Structure 1
Amino acid sequence: MSEREAMTLEADPEQVGLSFLTLAYSVREQVDQHMVSSAGLSLSRTKVLQVLAGRGALHQAELADALGQAPRSVTQIVEGLERMGLIARTGDPQDRRRKTVSLTDRGRTTLAAAEQAGTHVLRRLFGSLDPQQRESLGALLAHLDTVLAR
């Protein structure tokens, strides 16, 4: 959306909300595309590696819970990451059905590259705002987050 379109945008909640959703989707797409082209990892795969880097090895069900996703969805991502050599899955000695997922050294390196690529896009986009604009946007987002938490 151009600045001119934004100036003519009606300030009703629905239009502002739809504009926000459209913009958020576009930002996510740009971050995702840059991460894939730079590090070979999508944002969703990066999130899995971030959880493992932060929490250590987890059972797949725990990983799905930490990500707020269905176990079936996480299984597909985990299988892809395992094929790439970014994570390792090991069986649980007490329960063969349970798999523990852990980050490999290659996974740590790839995660760092993906995070750097994502940071680059976010700095370019949000760095185009002056400090006061970023502060105002941060306050607005914090307010909306509080409303959502209720």
Structure 2
Amino acid sequence: MSEYEAITIDHGPEQVGLAFLATAYGIREEVDRQTQSMAGLSLARTKVLQTLAARGALHQAQLADALGQAPRSVTQIVEGLERVGLVARTGDTGDRRRKTVSLTGKGRTTLAMAEQAGTQVLRQLFGSLDPQQMASLKALLARLDTALAR
């Protein structure tokens, strides 16, 4: 095997893609650990609160659709958030099965703490790159995003 073949095999699209996925997973796990530690929220719960903060009160089905998740999964998350006072659910007068979910004051405060924890992790990790590396990474991610959209 020539040196060129070894480089091609070691740095092929599949290997680089798998390395990217592993790194992205590790970053996600670290953000999740920190949001759990600092605010008591998983990323899944944080996403629910972020969606409610951005869009206002939503019916549970609308919330599930906005998150791209199954309604049952979102219902379980919402029930957990309601138990600890981060969201409130109210019934629909026209349809008792339909629930509207809204963010509480405690939910806003907790969300701010979770977002701060996530921001700290991202600043620490991506701050280890110099400005040129950061610009290159941003350009590469944009190119991958474009390829994904095709």
Which TM-score bucket, shorter chain as reference?
A: over 0.9
- Structure 2 counterpart of 1:90: 90
* Structure number with larger C-alpha Rg: 2
Q: Partner letter of residue 91 of structure 2? A: G
Instruction: Give distance in 2, aligned partners of 1:145 and 1:32.
Output: 23
- TM-score computed with the length of structure 2 as normaliser: 0.93
TM-score (norm 1): 0.93
Q: What are the residue-to-residue correspondences of 1:27-46 with 2, within 5 Å?
A: 27-46=27-46
The one-letter amino acid paired with 1:148 is L
In structure 1, what is the Cα distance between the partners aligned to 2:49 and 2:29? 19
Q: How much is the aligned-residue C-alpha RMSD, in angstroms?
A: 1.4
Identity of aligned pairs, percent? 76
Aligned length: 144
After superposition, the C-alpha distances for 1:57-108 in whole angstroms (9 at most, x for unaligned) are 0000000000011101101110110011000000000000100000000000
Q: How does 1:3-22 map to 2 (within 5 A)?
A: 10-22=10-22
- Show structure 2 runs of 5+ residues with no match: 1-6
Distance of 2:131 and 2:32 partners within structure 1: 25
How far the C-alpha of 1:148 sits from its partner, in A, is 1.0
One-letter identity of the residue aligned with 2:118 = G
**What does residue 146 of structure 1 align with?**
146
Q: CA offsets, 1:2-29, max 9 Å, x none?
A: xxxxx9x822000000000100000000
Matches within 5 A, 1:50-129: 50-129=50-129
Structure 1 residues without counterparts, runs of 5 or longer: 1-6
Partner secondary structure for residue 96 of structure 1: coil
Write the distance in 1 (CA, Å) between the matches of 2:146 and 2:140: 10
Letter in 1 for 2:38: S
SS class of match (1:120): helix
Q: Matched residue of 1:53: which SS? A: helix
